[in-house]
Amino acid sequence: MKLKNTAIILSGVLALTAVAPIAASAESSTEQITQNSSSSVTQKSAVEAVKPYVQVKDGVLSLKDVPESIYNQYNLSDLQKHFDELNELSKSGKITVNSDLSIKDNTISLNAEYGSWTYHLVGI
């Protein structure tokens, strides 16, 4: 479960690296399915590589002690920008970032709700 929640954080960055080659190419649908399958494997390996360096302290997401090779390989500057946006929302009380990396939306909805939703950064 924690792996899934950690994977949530990486979706923004990894989705761009997985989707951009597919959108730019004019491959057949069979080749695209194969590519999607391998990008899913790539996302999981990226999550495993970055997971030890993600921390939540007082509802604030951050990267800690990331080796330069991993930082550059997975373009973690984009992930840090996403963390900064989420941290602003957390500081303003609009979301709550939990230690398991799940995110709770604290905004009031004008629509009828029959339950509450917990949003996650990445879903694999």
Tell me the β-bridge partners of 105: 95
Task: Note if the pTM is more than 0.75.
Answer: no
Among 50, 52, 55, 64, which Cα is nearest to 10's?
50
Q: Domain of 116? A: 2-120
- Is the torsion defined by CA of 44, 14, 86, 117 positive or negative? negative
pLDDT at 16 exceeding the cut of 60: no
Total domains in the fold of the chain? 1
Which is it for strands 60-63 and 118-120: parallel, antiparallel or unpaired? Answer: unpaired
CA–CA gap between residue 12 and residue 78 (Å, rounded): 8
Q: What does the pLDDT look like over 60-102, one tens digit per residue? A: 999 999 999 989 888 899 989 999 999 999 999 999 999 888 8
